[in-house]
Amino acid sequence: MKLPIPLLAVVASLLAIASPASPPSVTDATLLEQGKNIFVTRCAKCHDNDANKKLPDGTTLLGRLAKIKDPEERIGTRLKDPQERHAVMIYIDSLLKSLPSSSQ
């Protein structure tokens, strides 16, 4: 059965919408590196490169973030750009995973 041209165009359009070409994805390694660069540039002055510098109250940024439910929201008070915040959170997550269980 031959489809009329307009119906064929509609079907082709629907198929194109249903399976769009996926945009290039940023790998976790790329986000981790971006997050580290942002953290080192904008946060390390007060928190050191690994976020373990003791703050005046004796805690560290890593220690504080390990104890709260949504650390990404918390760092949003300083990093307003959602993409930068997410990249930094990936870097911080890598630091949190390297902490011994007893110090979290």
**Alpha-carbon distance 21 to 25, whole Å?**
12
CB 51 within 8 A of CB 61: yes
Structure tokens at 20: 């769009």
Domain boundary assignment for the chain: 26-103
Residue 102 has a pLDDT of 47
Selected residue with higher pLDDT from 28 and 18 = 28
User: CA neighbours within 13 Å on the CB side: how many for 60?
Assistant: 18
pLDDT tens per residue, range 56-81: 999 999 999 999 999 999 999 999 99
Residue 98 has a pLDDT of 87
Residue 100 has a pLDDT of 77
What percent of the chain is predicted at pLDDT more than 90? 66
Q: Between the CA atoms of 4, 10, 12 and 17, what dihedral angle is there, to the nearest 10 degrees?
A: -170
| Whole-structure pTM value | 0.70
